[in-house]
């Protein structure tokens, strides 16, 4: 079967300066976009231009470039709003990263609304960023956590979902696993949560960069994601929330920017979204994120998903053809049910040793627990090796991965 | 560029394939201690028998990890068995010095040249190449840190 892609990948690769570098005198094969993506020139240029020609603190400034900086920042917010189809820019809050977005929800909404015995439903495939903030609230408030189990092929086992959600106040789950690649049925989950009277929080860290996102169609109350995984810079993330909830929530971090008035005896909060943006924001990074979503929108999120679907099919087939039973790829085997994240076990090799040898071939993959230790435990492993793809990867990258794996296998052949 | 042969010396691969002193000891009387490498999820379990003369009379290693952490643990177990905790302390310092970790420079004091114990590292020398791969140093030192903790606990 012929594999086709709607993308002009050669042209896309030319947009990413890092992809033309070598490592150990070998052209780099970057297969770690689930950890962070590479950045296109458009993003680098936007940030550089801001610092070179516009740099001034935002909001409040009366002079020309201060107003320009404010406008550029707010224009980036509008770009992000459009990218996720939020109904208003009031619902688009800039944070440091997805981790901070999730902590904001827990610390602000959670502390205002949850008391001892209240139930929060998570899943076994969550990233630590969607576990630890809740554990902190367990310690502080005595809330109760329930866990959606997984099927053997790494999908959410929803057979007892209604029972798990019974009496729950919150459902907080990832849209796509950063370990298994599983794409979860978000709409089904948010519908079930609403029917049970719970709010729903979606960790969109892995899904938003790779699939078209319409927060209104998702039916969630909050969606969190990071800029750096979607071709943007590090240091900026997004929290989208329904305006009604955000309005009712107490502030998270206090300081400048988030206030309307401060007196000796108290303060009043600023309007949304600034109420949740205390202090000088990551202005250049936010502008860079705006450029990133422009870049992705220009290419087309559906085309990106189609390209990665093709690469997923190719990867699963190539690794199975070349290594048969010597390789086990975790997660669903149907490319319709997963994104381009491939955690695998290869022969008896430890993930550290695999990634060390792959590095000699300039193939960048991650080894470790991927900030998902409960999932690792469930899988019965301490760590996995993980390759992940994005719009700039090619079937040749997957061939390079397979070649490097072959030499790792030979090196450790006992 | 450091090559793979700097890291994966034959002796290391041999200890990885055929780990020495692998297993468990009944605890108690043996002292059992666990170590974790939080970065990669590697785990090690050390079982220790100490006699009245503060001598390690027996040692076993359990857990899971990469070739570097497993072979380092295996070599360590062979190197410390039959030695007193004082001798093991010297060996540990010498090993960590080879890994470019000096106890005295961890305290924040100005780095003075450290007086290194004059001990023979033997097979452990094979791990010298690990310093060229800084992210792997923690793999090589995991067993040693766990052993040191176990000795402290056993003598406490
Ligand atoms: C599913 C998921 N959630 C949350 C995070 C946390 O993202 P960040 O470290 O950018 O806050 C990640 C990133 O590793 C992730 O993959």
Nearest chain B residue (CA) to A382: B41
Interface with B, mutate which of A24, A179, A350, A366 (most B CBs under 10 A): A350
State yes or no: pLDDT of B40 exceeds 90. Answer: no
Segments making up each domain of chain B, as ranges: 2-155
Mean pLDDT of B41-69: 91
**Claim: this prediction has a pTM higher than 0.90:** yes
State yes or no: pLDDT of B109 exceeds 50. Answer: no
| Ligand 1 and A127: CB distance under 6 A | yes
State yes or no: pLDDT of B41 exceeds 80. Answer: no
Instruction: Report the CATH fold assignment for B2-155.
Output: Sufe protein. Chain: A (3.90.1010)
Select the residue of B7, B43, B139 nearest A382 (Cβ to Cβ): B43
State yes or no: pLDDT of B105 exceeds 60. Answer: no
| Ligand 1 and A236: CB distance under 6 A | no
Segments making up each domain of chain A, as ranges: 9-30+300-411, 44-298
A260 to chain B, any CB pair closer than 8 A? The answer is no
Instruction: Report the CATH fold assignment for A44-298.
Output: 3.40.640
- Position B117 scores a pLDDT of 67
In chain B, what percentage of residues exceed pLDDT 90? 42
**Architecture label for domain A9-30+300-411:** Alpha-Beta Complex (3.90)
In chain B, what percentage of residues exceed pLDDT 70? 88
B5 to chain A, any CB pair closer than 8 A? The answer is no
Confidence of residue B156 (pLDDT cuts 50, 70, 90): confident
- Position B7 scores a pLDDT of 84
Which stretches in chain A have pLDDT values below 70?
1-2, 414
Select the residue of A24, A356, A373 nearest B41 (Cβ to Cβ): A373
pLDDT digits (tens, 9 = 90+) for A187-208: 999 999 999 999 999 999 999 9
SS (H, E, C) chain A: CCCCCCCCHHHHHHCCHHHHCEECCEECEECECCCCCCCCHHHHHHHHHHHHHHCCCCCCCCCHHHHHHHHHHHHHHHHHHHHHCCCCHHHEEEECCHHHHHHHHHHHHHHHHCCCCCEEEEECCCCHHHCHHHHHHHHHHCCEEEEECECCCCCECCCCHHHHHCCEEEEEEECECCCCCEECCHHHHHHHHHHCCCEEEEECCCCCCCCCCCHHHHCCCEEEEECCCCCCCCCCEEEEECHHHHHHCCCCCCCCCCEEEEECCEEEECCCCHHHCCCCCCHHHHHHHHHHHHHHHHHCHHHHHHHHHHHHHHHHHHHHHHHHHHEEECCCCCHHHECCEEEEEECCCCHHHHHHHHHHCCEECEEECCCCHHHHHHHCCCCEEEEECCCCCCHHHHHHHHHHHHHHHHHCCC
More confident position, B133 or A332 = A332
More confident position, A179 or B41 = A179
């Amino acid at each position: 079967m012929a594999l086709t892609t709607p993308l002009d990948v050669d042209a896309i690769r030319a947009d990413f300066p890092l992809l033309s570098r070598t490592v150990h005198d070998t052209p780099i094969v970057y297969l770690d976009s689930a950890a962070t993506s590479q950045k296109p020139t458009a993003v680098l240029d936007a940030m550089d231009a801001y610092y070179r020609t516009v740099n001034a603190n935002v909001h409040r400034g009366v002079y020309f470039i201060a107003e320009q900086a404010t406008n550029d920042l707010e224009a980036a917010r509008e770009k992000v709003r459009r990218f996720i189809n939020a109904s208003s820019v009031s619902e688009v809050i800039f944070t440091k990263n997805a981790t901070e977005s999730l902590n904001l929800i827990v610390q602000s909404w959670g502390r205002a609304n949850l008391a001892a015995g209240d139930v929060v439903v998570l899943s076994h495939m969550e990233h630590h960023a969607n576990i630890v903030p809740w554990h902190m609230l367990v310690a502080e408030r005595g809330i109760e956590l329930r866990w959606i189990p997984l099927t053997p092929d790494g999908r959410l086992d929803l057979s007892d979902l209604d029972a798990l959600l019974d009496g729950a106040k919150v459902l907080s789950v990832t849209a796509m696993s950063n370990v298994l690649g599983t794409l979860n049925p978000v709409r089904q989950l948010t519908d079930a949560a609403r029917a049970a009277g719970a709010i729903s929080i979606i960790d969109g860290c892995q899904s938003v960069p790779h699939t078209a996102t319409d927060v209104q169609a998702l039916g969630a109350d909050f969606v969190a994601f990071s800029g750096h995984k979607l071709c943007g810079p590090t240091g900026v993330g997004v929290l989208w929330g329904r305006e009604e909830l955000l309005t009712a929530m107490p502030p998270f971090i206090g300081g400048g920017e988030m206030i309307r008035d401060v007196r000796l005896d108290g303060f009043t909060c600023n309007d949304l979204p600034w109420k949740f943006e205390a202090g000088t924001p990551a202005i250049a990074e936010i502008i860079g994120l705006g450029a990133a979503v422009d870049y992705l929108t220009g290419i087309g999120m559906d085309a990106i998903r189609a390209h990665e679907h093709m690469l997923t099919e190719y990867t699963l087939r190539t690794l199975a053809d070349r290594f048969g039973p010597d390789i086990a790829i975790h997660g669903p085997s149907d490319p319709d049910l997963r994104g381009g994240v491939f955690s695998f076990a290869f022969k008896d090799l430890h993930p550290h040793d695999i990634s060390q040898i792959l590095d000699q071939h300039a193939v960048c993959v991650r080894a470790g627990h991927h900030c998902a230790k409960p999932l690792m435990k469930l899988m019965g492993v301490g760590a996995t090796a993980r390759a992940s793809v994005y719009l700039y990867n090619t079937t040749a990258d997957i061939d390079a991965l397979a070649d490097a794996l072959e030499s790792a296998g030979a090196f450790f052949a006992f | 560029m450091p090559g793979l042969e700097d890291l994966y010396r034959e002796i290391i691969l041999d200890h990885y394939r055929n780990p020495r002193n692998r297993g468990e000891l009944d605890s108690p009387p043996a002292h059992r201690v666990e170590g974790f490498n939080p970065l990669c999820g590697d785990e090690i379990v050390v079982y220790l028998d100490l006699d009245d003369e503060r001598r390690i009379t027996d040692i076993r290693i359990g857990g899971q990890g990469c070739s570097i952490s497993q072979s380092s643990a295996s070599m360590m177990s062979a190197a410390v068995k039959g030695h007193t905790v004082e001798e093991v302390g010297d060996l540990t310092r010498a090993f960590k010095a080879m890994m470019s970790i000096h106890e005295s420079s961890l305290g924040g004091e100005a780095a003075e040249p450290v007086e290194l114990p004059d001990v023979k590292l033997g097979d452990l020398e094979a791990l010298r190449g690990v310093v060229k791969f800084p992210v792997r140093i923690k793999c090589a030192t995991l067993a040693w840190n766990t052993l040191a903790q176990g000795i402290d606990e056993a003598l406490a």
